[in-house]
Amino acid sequence: MEDAFRFADELGPAKIIHVHEPGVGLRGTLVVDNTAAGPAIGGLRMAPDVSTQECFRLARAMTLKNAAAGLPHGGGKSVLYGDPGMPVERKERLVRAMACALGDVTDYIFGPDMGTDETCMAWVRSEIGRAVGLPREIGGIPLDELGATGFGLAHACDVAAARRGFPLAGARVVVQGLGSVGLHAARFLAARGAVLVAASDSRGAIHDPKGLDVEALAALKRAGRSVAEHGAGRPLAADGLIAVECEIWIPAARPDAIREDNAAQLRARLVVPGANIPATPGAERWLHEHGVLFVPDFIANAGGVICAAMEYHGASQRAAFEAIEEKIRSNTDAVLRESERRGVPPREAAVELAVSRVKRAMGWRRWSIF
Ligand code: NAD
């Protein structure tokens, strides 16, 4: 008993469901964390090494992210065990089986995450009638193609830079992980006059203090090539990116990119994360104590889920982007003001904001978390 309830606390999870279908080799887990604000939205992650623990942590992060963004949705997440690069026929069968196995859990809405995409969401929708992050042809707003998260991130940078007293125009930016989030963030920031001075992907990193050509890098990435093949600037070792002098450092790749052992190398005034859990708690605290403003990930990178929720409610692309701008700007501002007012790290202020919203929603339910 104790083991099965090891994640349980006052916010959730409401349910953890494991599904298994040997006929197609399906093994998957769904965590519906808290649905006080509405049906849970959260991505389906596909990877060989996922776990119940990871699924729970991501589901809780969605509860906080959706609450902070003021969405009428709770938090959940699902994980599917398997290599996302498997032949597409097998992947389709597994994703469809996962959807069927969980089709009657109507308080969970599937979305895309690592290892799944809009095609997977179209398969889910065709099986159970609900999913977000759909292709345009069936009412989707293609959030990665349009750069919804990067768009929101650029607004978070703008608000945070103003609080630190410098303008975006001329600010030097470093992006770790020039993928869908990182690349669009770089583009939206460049459009506001910021200068991308260094960037990386899984195959290399480059640095040019005079500024890199973001559109040329975008073309290179579209062609499936690496930033290391750009030809401009100076190549950097991947772990050298953290020491590049800049105003804004954007982690947009893997978890725990900033840790206790490398945080002191950072020479930035702001960290604005595209990635989820990009720093260890100790490193985030250390940065706060040393004057680096760290905008919490679930505040800065909520653009994707705001877009997905707007899609679910039938909004247009334009309305979705207006909602992202408005919510990310006001939340970033509220969190940073509260953190300054009370002298606490921004994460503490952000968690309190989100948890107080979840708790208010819980107070209106007969049962608190569902
Ligand atoms: P992506 O796969 O499109 O891009 C990831 C990029 O990171 C790729 O360019 C990859 O080459 C690079 N990368 C991988 N390992 C690296 C390493 N060790 N060093 C440097 N670069 C590395 O993924 P994405 O959708 O852009 O997501 C990036 C992060 O943002 C993830 O943590 C994801 O959970 C988070 N996130 C994404 C969204 C979204 O809307 N896509 C929303 C919120 C948060």
Amino acid at 367: W
Radius of gyration of the chain (CA): 20
How confident is residue 2, by pLDDT bands cut at 50, 70 and 90?
low
Question: Within 10 A of 106 (CB to CB), how many other CB atoms are there?
Answer: 11
91 catalytic residue (yes or no): no
258 C-alpha to ligand 1 centroid (Å): 15
Kindly give the pairing relationship between strand 40-47 and strand 172-176: unpaired
Task: Single out the catalytic residue among 65, 77, 91, 327.
Answer: 77
- Which residues 6+ apart lie within 8 Å of 362 measured at CB? 34, 36, 368, 369
Q: What is the dihedral of CA 180, 182, 184, 190, to 10 degrees?
A: -160
Q: Are 112 and 80 in contact (CB under 8 A)?
A: no
pLDDT at residue 238, as a whole number: 84
Per-residue pLDDT, 338: 96
What is the per-residue pLDDT across 51-63, written as a single tens digit (0 to 9) for each?
A: 999 999 999 999 9
Burial class (CB in 10 A: 0-12, 13-18, 19+), 358: buried
Instruction: Report how far ligand 1's centroid is from the alpha carbon of 21 (Å).
Output: 31
Q: What is the DSSP letter of 11?
A: T
Between CA 179 and CA 176 the distance in angstroms is 9
The pLDDT of residue 239 is: 87
**Residue range 294-314: average pLDDT?**
96
Banded model confidence at residue 254, pLDDT cuts 50, 70, 90? confident
Q: Average pLDDT for residues 290-298, to the nearest whole number?
A: 97
Q: Which atom of ligand 1 is nearest to the CA of 307?
A: 40
| Measured distance CA(135)–CA(39) in Å, rounded | 21
Q: Which amino acid is at 324?
A: I
What percent of the chain stands above pLDDT 90? 93
pTM: 0.94
| Alpha helices (H) in 295-345, listed in sequence order | 297-300, 303-312, 317-342
Confidence band of 304 (pLDDT split at 50, 70, 90): very high
Sequence-ordered list of residues with C-beta below 8 angstroms from that of 66, at least 6 positions apart, any chain: 37, 40, 41, 73, 74, 75, 305, 309
Report which of 219, 217, 190, 185 is spatially closest to residue 201, judged by C-alpha positions. 217
Q: How far apart are the first and last CA of the chain?
A: 21
Mean predicted confidence (pLDDT) in 175-192: 96
Mean pLDDT of the chain: 95
150 CA distance to ligand 1 middle (Å): 11
Residue at 88: amino acid letter: V
64 neighbors 347 (Cβ within 8 angstroms): no
275 Cα: distance to centroid of ligand 1 (angstroms): 6
- Ligand 1: nearest atom to the Cα of 226: 11
C-alpha distances (whole Å) from 50 to each of 55, 80, 83, 84, 283 are: 7, 7, 10, 12, 24
pLDDT tens per residue across span 18-58? 999 999 999 999 999 999 999 999 999 999 999 999 999 99
The residue whose CA has the least distance to atom 14 of ligand 1 is 202
In the predicted structure, residue 1 carries a pLDDT above the cut 80: no
Q: Which residue pairs from 344-351 have beta carbons closer than 8 angstroms and sit at least 24 positions apart in sequence?
A: 345/284, 345/285, 345/288, 345/294, 346/288, 346/293, 346/294, 346/295, 346/296, 346/299, 347/284, 347/294, 347/296, 350/64, 350/68, 350/296, 350/298, 350/299, 351/64, 351/296
The whole-angstrom separation of Cα 307 and Cα 333 is: 20
Q: What is the side-by-side strand order in the sheet with 15-21?
A: 15-21, 26-34, 75-81, 40-47, 108-112
Q: For residue 15, how many other CB atoms are within 10 A of its CB? A: 17
Whose alpha carbon is nearest atom 4 of ligand 1? 179
The number of the ligand 1 atom at minimal distance from the alpha carbon of 148 is: 40
| Mean pLDDT along residues 116-140 | 96
Bridging pattern class, strands 195-201 and 204-207: antiparallel
pLDDT of residue 255: 85
| Vertex 34 angle, CA 30 and 40, to 5° | 60
Read off the pLDDT of each residue in 349-359 and give the average, rounded to a whole number. Answer: 96
